[in-house]
Amino acid sequence: GAKHGVSAAASCDDCHEVHDLRSVSDPDSPINPRNVSKTCGKCHPDMQRLYDMSIHGRAVKAGVPDSPTCTDCHGEHLILSPRDPSAATHANRIADETCGKCHNDPIIIAKYSLREGVVDSYTDSYHGWATARDHGHSATCVSCHTAHLVLPTADPESSVSEANVVATCQQCHEGAT
Contact predicate 39/15, CB 8 Å = yes
CA dist 45 and 168 (Å) reads 24
CA dist 174 and 148 (Å) reads 24
From first to last of its 177 residues, the chain has per-residue pLDDT tens of: 444 444 567 777 787 877 777 888 888 888 899 999 999 999 999 999 999 999 999 999 999 999 999 999 998 888 888 888 888 888 888 888 899 999 999 999 999 999 999 999 998 998 988 888 877 678 889 999 999 999 999 999 999 999 999 999 999 999 989
Q: What is the pLDDT of residue 4?
A: 46
Tell me which residue of 36, 33, 44 sits closest to 15, measured CA to CA: 36
pTM of the model: 0.84
Q: Which residues make Cβ contacts (< 8 Å) with residue 76, sequence separation at least 6?
A: none
